[in-house]
């Protein structure tokens, strides 16, 4: 390469760099994005995925055994999920559940991009609903832009009802949230008679405010500047992640279709800007994958419709990975190490939850060994240990519980000669002692097993291993 060629190439690089930077548009919400609504495959898919949120609104009204099917009863520290009652003691399962969903987010994002953002996120779904309402009141994007520019005297009449509907949706959202924590059917009456506790009204007010501001006013700004997950998910992409992508090789150089230009030097992109017009976050997908893209795929619908009209094959914008566009072979998702590792973690978390839910005991026992002193020598030379037993009765009735201890020869249990009465849903504390003749103690630390059995129902039992400490 000659000197001049090098200089030319360098200049070209520099120009490219500036050209790239020149159309960087930082969306700080200065201008409201009015996205055009078009139909298509992904639009339909989006309706179905949004419908998942109907469960949020309708879930509280399901009944099970004469009470709410799913109820988070905070005052009595009980969580009813259909037949199961989960108490705070079982909440290790919640951490597994969170782990499961965190990894699910990772595996889905690594495979198919921001599926959560584009199809399921409440911000996306509520914004979609809010803009739909906006369109019903104010018309298509062009009309809305015109209305925005109009003087207040003109637009007030149209704008006010829209805002009222938005606020109403916010309120219903808040009330539906509250319904998960109290009897859903009874709540509405209490709500209107102002009989709910203040915290319920504060919750509804907060939800109303946030729904109205986030979905009505901030919209894509939340994804750009507030949501940490939006930024987090970008780093989970790799070369094999399929994303809504503009096929640069096929599309460029882009340009308007001119009649009579039979043989054209142009690419398939006719620069109609439909992909930009429909984008709810106001980006241009043709500039490549970027932080603003929530991978909702609405641009694919728009582009496909245009391609059909100009009689070119669909898929100028399509779900494609970086490797695919580069002509690299594309492995099947389940052969990718990331997917396999994620799947293993998810299965473990899920197995833990299934195990936890299936083994929810109705009588729970916690054994706390006294630490100071660890053991005491009695007058006859025997060694005594003190234990505090915490019995949690998860049945709805009072239980008479017998306590036994095993694990050492000549072990004597003191303090639980009579059955212990345990009130339902409460923790009963019992102080007991274990005593072993000194010479029968083989080790400084010996395992002992406490077992509790409900009288009258042998199936209600629980055994817990603890330790017996001696001088060794």
Q: Does 386 bind another protein (CB under 8 A)?
A: yes
Q: Which is nearer to another protein, 256 or 371 (CB)?
A: 371
Among 83, 373, 447, 471, binds another protein (CB under 8 A): 373
Closest CA to 215 of 167, 179, 174, 172: 167
Q: Does 381 bind another protein (CB under 8 A)?
A: yes
- The rounded distance, in Å, linking the Cα atoms of 207 and 167 is 10
Among 12, 142, 347, 378, binds another protein (CB under 8 A): 378
Q: Which is nearer to another protein, 330 or 377 (CB)?
A: 377
Encoded one letter per residue, x for contact with another protein by CB under 8 A and - for no contact, window 319-358 reads: ----------------------------------------
- Least distance to another protein from the beta carbon of 429, Å? 5
Among 3, 22, 76, 153, binds another protein (CB under 8 A): 22
Q: Which is nearer to another protein, 246 or 450 (CB)?
A: 450
How many residues lie near another protein (CB under 8 A)?
Answer: 22
Q: Does 44 bind another protein (CB under 8 A)?
A: no
Q: Which is nearer to another protein, 173 or 384 (CB)?
A: 384
Q: Which is nearer to another protein, 179 or 416 (CB)?
A: 416
Q: Which is nearer to another protein, 257 or 444 (CB)?
A: 444
Q: Does 433 bind another protein (CB under 8 A)?
A: yes
Q: Which is nearer to another protein, 169 or 432 (CB)?
A: 432
Among 257, 354, 431, 463, binds another protein (CB under 8 A): 431
Among 44, 361, 406, 429, binds another protein (CB under 8 A): 429
Stretch that binds another protein, among 43-51, 165-173, 350-358, 372-380 (CB under 8 A): 372-380
Give one word for 82, left, alpha or beta, with left for phi > 0 and alpha for psi -120 to 50: left
User: Which residue ranges make up the site for another protein (CB under 8 A)?
Assistant: 22, 28, 30, 370-373, 376-381, 384, 386, 420, 428-431, 433, 438
């Amino acid at each position: 390469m000659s000197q001049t060629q090098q200089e030319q190439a360098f200049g070209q690089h520099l120009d490219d760099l500036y050209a790239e930077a020149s159309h960087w548009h930082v969306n700080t919400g200065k201008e409201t994005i009015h996205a055009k609504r078009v139909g298509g495959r992904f639009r339909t898919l989006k309706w179905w995925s949004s419908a998942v949120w109907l469960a949020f609104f309708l879930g509280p009204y399901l009944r099970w055994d004469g009470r709410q099917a799913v109820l988070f009863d905070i005052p009595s520290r009980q969580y009813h999920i259909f037949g199961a009652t989960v108490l705070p003691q079982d909440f290790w399962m919640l951490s597994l559940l969170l782990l499961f969903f965190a990894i699910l987010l990772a595996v889905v994002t690594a495979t198919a991009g921001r599926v959560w953002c584009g199809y399921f996120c409440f911000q996306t779904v509520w914004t979609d609903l809010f803009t739909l309402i906006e369109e019903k009141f104010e018309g298509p994007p062009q009309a809305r832009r015109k209305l925005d520019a109009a003087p207040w005297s003109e637009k007030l009449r149209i704008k006010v009802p829209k805002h009222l509907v938005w606020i109403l949706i916010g309120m219903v959202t808040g009330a539906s949230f509250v319904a998960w924590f109290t009897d859903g059917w009874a709540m509405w009456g209490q709500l209107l008679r102002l009989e709910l506790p203040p915290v319920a009204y504060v919750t509804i007010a907060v939800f109303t405010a946030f729904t109205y501001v986030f979905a009505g006013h901030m919209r894509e700004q939340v994804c750009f500047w507030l949501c940490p997950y939006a930024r987090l998910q970008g780093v989970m992409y790799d070369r094999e992640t399929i994303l809504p992508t503009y096929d640069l090789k096929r599309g460029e150089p882009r340009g308007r279709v001119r009649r009579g230009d039979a043989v054209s030097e142009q690419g398939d992109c006719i620069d109609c800007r439909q992909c930009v017009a429909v984008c709810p976050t106001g980006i241009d997908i043709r500039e490549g994958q970027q932080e603003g893209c929530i991978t909702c795929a609405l641009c694919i619908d728009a582009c496909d419709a245009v391609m059909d009209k100009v009689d070119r094959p669909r898929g100028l914008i399509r779900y494609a990975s970086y490797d695919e566009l580069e002509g690299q072979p594309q492995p099947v998702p389940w052969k990718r190490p990331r997917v396999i590792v994620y799947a293993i973690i998810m299965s473990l978390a899920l197995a833990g939850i299934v195990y936890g839910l299936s083994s929810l005991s109705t009588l729970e026992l916690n054994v706390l060994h006294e630490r100071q002193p660890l053991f005491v020598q009695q007058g006859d030379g025997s060694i005594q240990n003190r234990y505090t037993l915490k019995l949690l009765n998860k049945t709805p009735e009072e239980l008479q519980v017998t306590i036994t201890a095993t694990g050492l020869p000549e072990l004597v249990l003191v303090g639980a000669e009579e059955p212990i009465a345990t009130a339902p849903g409460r923790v009963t504390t019992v102080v007991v002692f274990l005593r072993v003749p000194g010479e029968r103690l083989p080790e400084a630390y010996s395992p002992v097993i406490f077992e509790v059995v409900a009288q009258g129902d042998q199936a209600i039992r629980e055994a817990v291993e603890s330790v017996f400490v001696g001088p060794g």
